[in-house]
A and B are shown apart, each in its own frame.
Chain A
Amino acid sequence: MLYVTIALFALAVGLFALHLFWAKARGWVWKAVAVLGGAMLPAGAYFGLSWAPSEQDMGEVYRIIFVHVPMVWAALLALVVNFVASAAYLFKRSWTSDSLGEAGAEVGVVFGVVGLLLGSIWGRPTWGVWWDWDPRLTTTAIMLVLYTGYLALRKFVDDPEKRATWSAVVGVIAAVDLPIVWFSVRWWKSIHQVQSNPKTIDRSMFVVLVFNVVAFMCALFVYLWHRFLIAKAARAREVALPSALPPAGPQEAA
């Protein structure tokens, strides 16, 4: 299981790199990633629900970790993509980076909201509450509000260039919250556990966690790519529009 997971991890990273650096392969690489992710997601659910052993204190409930952690990590990664694209746009204006920023924000918010809900479902049987104003939960909620604001800003501004510039600035500012979310469990007293690593988690659980992380990263990749294409097509339609419509003639006035 360990070696299979390492091999799948390497395969996924190889495909991501291929897609990034070899433009001609983009037509089929995302399909390969989709097939890989589509096979790994149900397998990961099976491993998480039945193959992984019970936890010492949380019993079976801890199995939520196998969807909660990959979902939140995927959200954070998507929002890092948004930050990189936003910063890239401010350095060099490009519709590609603007579209990538939009894709990263939307996919990040979707994964983040679901990840937060999954954490809430996990919190009820373990903490006894659905929600607590704990540093990790609070900073995550702030993060989601910030990026929802980013998406709202993009909806409200009609001018594509102003929209791209303003949202890039917001994307860079909002990214300040990302390391705060990550380190909140270490910086402040939190009921949320610190990040798991091979030293703090049993190997059989860690392997299943990594397997699911790879599966969710494949899903994230496919979603990001398609959301990017949607955004880029929208920009193409907007830019193709005449920048200034001709003044209304007599026949239109009538």
Chain B
Amino acid sequence: MSFLTHAMLAQVGQGRIEGGWEYIWAAYGLTWLSLALYGVSLWLRRRSGEPPKELS
């Protein structure tokens, strides 16, 4: 194994990632917030628009 490869592998963490719940909550929070906000946006836009007419 070359020195460069050894040096690169030494930077790779070993074992299991511990914790990280703050990232998980951030991800789930972002998901729910974006789904809710986009849903509200669609609802408001539908309310302000006219009912659809038949178009070809």
Q: Which residues of A contact B (CB under 8 A)?
A: 41, 45, 48-49, 56-61, 63-64, 67-68, 71, 94-96, 110, 114, 117-118, 121-122, 124-126, 219, 223, 226-227, 229-230, 232-237, 239-240
Interface residues of B in 1-35 (CB under 8 A from A): 16-21, 23-24, 26-28, 30-32, 34-35
Contacting pair A230 B34 (CB below 8 A): no
Known: A41-B35, A121-B26. 11 other contacts (CB 8 A): A48-B28, A61-B24, A64-B23, A64-B24, A95-B56, A96-B55, A114-B34, A118-B27, A118-B31, A121-B30, A226-B42
Residues of B within 8 A of A126 (CB): 17
Contacting pair A239 B30 (CB below 8 A): no
- Out of A49, A64, A232, name the residue touching B52 (CB < 8 Å): A232
Residues of A within 8 A of B50 (CB): 233, 236-237
Closest chain A residue, CB of each to CB of B35: A219
Inter-chain CA distance A122–B20, complex, in Å, is 9
Inter-chain CA distance A45–B42, complex, in Å, is 23
Interface of A is mostly: helix
Contacting pair A229 B46 (CB below 8 A): yes
Contacting pair B38 A223 (CB below 8 A): yes
Inter-chain CA distance A223–B39, complex, in Å, is 7
Contacting pair B38 A121 (CB below 8 A): no
Contacting pair A125 B52 (CB below 8 A): no
Residues of B within 8 A of A57 (CB): 16-17
Contacting pair B30 A117 (CB below 8 A): yes
Inter-chain CA distance A118–B34, complex, in Å, is 11
Contacting pair A121 B23 (CB below 8 A): yes
Contacting pair A59 B19 (CB below 8 A): yes
Residues of A within 8 A of B55 (CB): 94-96, 232, 235-236, 239
Contacting pair B24 A229 (CB below 8 A): no
- Out of A45, A61, A117, A233, name the residue touching B20 (CB < 8 Å): A61
Residues of A within 8 A of B53 (CB): 232-233, 236, 240
Inter-chain CA distance A80–B55, complex, in Å, is 23
Closest chain B residue, CB of each to CB of A65: B27
Residues of A within 8 A of B23 (CB): 61, 64, 121-122, 124-125
